[in-house]
Structure 1
């Protein structure tokens, strides 16, 4: 919980949480937007986030229960890359659609058929991009049973993935409800905070 409060303060202080009218990658409209793309610009906070994610994975499924890490571009891929380095696991990523040049791959990287793949992304909303990644991985003869995200918006991602027998875990629990009611006791913004 200590990391979550610190992380909420960091995101708030650095304008990574915005209120207004936003179109999400899911196509849904939202009164708020969480931009985790700024986190790697703050290496100390980014490292804490990745280490917290690694600890959660170790606690929930164990670091020996997956062979490689996968993500979808772009924000989740940065997190997955850092996690792959920390856990010394191979990394692959899944394109939303095959590229129309070169090898025309949907999955970039190389791992063996039957590999147990851990799926990582930044923010979960409806879960559709994660589900598409699960389907692409399974179509390529890989095993996917678990996905980890940093923030869950609680708009159906867990239920959608559960329908495909994939468990979804997140670092933050009811992050937005705590933020909206200021249960983190956030101080007024005063510039960049690393």
Structure 2
């Protein structure tokens, strides 16, 4: 097994910069020219981050998992996790690589029960009370995490921490959702990291950077003005 390139000593800001660079280099960051992106939860946004672009590059995903390992070690503690759960579907590959690196059981949690056979919402096995780290690729307002955490807890699993490869970190609703969940989100990168790296590395045009910054400053207003929701229903 190939060992990921684990950062030996990196603070949160440095990890954010590394992962933002990986996303920009892989072409995962898209800024709209005219028509805004509408995210799954209904928010309109000028920027969309396709984290799945990272799964095809071996060097980049190895560096990414190294950053994830450093985050788990420094912010959660390796001895406080008994299993890794990948959120359907985009969180699964990242969860699998992390579980393999930590020699921990892997679970897959679906958005809803399968609908046939065992009608399972959770695949894999972990003992009741196991401390599970939920892994997903992207977090906007946190509503999908609410669903995943409820499913895991209904299976008598303990979920206190969520690892997200990218986190918009601009929706007030996400903070309220995490408070409601009683879970801490650990993002590897945020939209603010993307902006900082884009400026330093010239990955995005200045006009695109200005557009994303305007969105981050006035998210609800920007979304509403461009056909999206201004708040959760």
Normalised by the size of structure 2, how large is the TM-score? Answer: 0.74
How many aligned residue pairs are there? 187
Asked if 2 retains the 8 angstrom alpha-carbon contact of 1:9 and 1:184, the reply is: no
SS of the aligned residue for 1:149 comes to strand
Give the gaps of 5 or more residues in structure 1.
Answer: 190-194
Residue 119 (structure 2) pairs with residue 104 (structure 1): yes
In the aligned structure 2, how far is the partner of 1:122 from the partner of 1:103? 27
Q: 1:187 Cα deviation (Å)?
A: 5.0
From the two aligned structures, give the one with the greater helix fraction: 2
Give the gaps of 5 or more residues in structure 2.
Answer: 1-12, 206-233
Asked if 2 retains the 8 angstrom alpha-carbon contact of 1:153 and 1:176, the reply is: no
Where does 1:110-129 land on structure 2 (aligned, <5 Å)? Answer: 110-129=125-144
Asked if 2 retains the 8 angstrom alpha-carbon contact of 1:158 and 1:167, the reply is: no
After the TM superposition, list the runs of 4 or more consecutive aligned residues in structure 1 that deviate by more than 6 angstroms.
none
Normalised by the size of structure 1, how large is the TM-score? Answer: 0.87
Residue of structure 2 equivalent to 1:92: 107
Which of 47, 64, 81 is matched with 2:96 structurally?
81
Cα distance change of structure 1 residues 120 and 96 upon mapping to structure 2, 3 Å threshold: same
Instruction: Say what the alpha-carbon RMSD is for the aligned residues.
Output: 2.0
SS of the aligned residue for 1:45 comes to helix
Residue 164 (structure 2) pairs with residue 149 (structure 1): yes
Residue of structure 2 equivalent to 1:163: 180
Cα distance change of structure 1 residues 185 and 93 upon mapping to structure 2, 3 Å threshold: same
Higher radius of gyration, 1 or 2:
2
Tell me which moved more, 35-44 or 164-173: 164-173
In the aligned structure 1, how far is the partner of 2:176 from the partner of 2:158? 19
In the aligned structure 2, how far is the partner of 1:187 from the partner of 1:101? 46
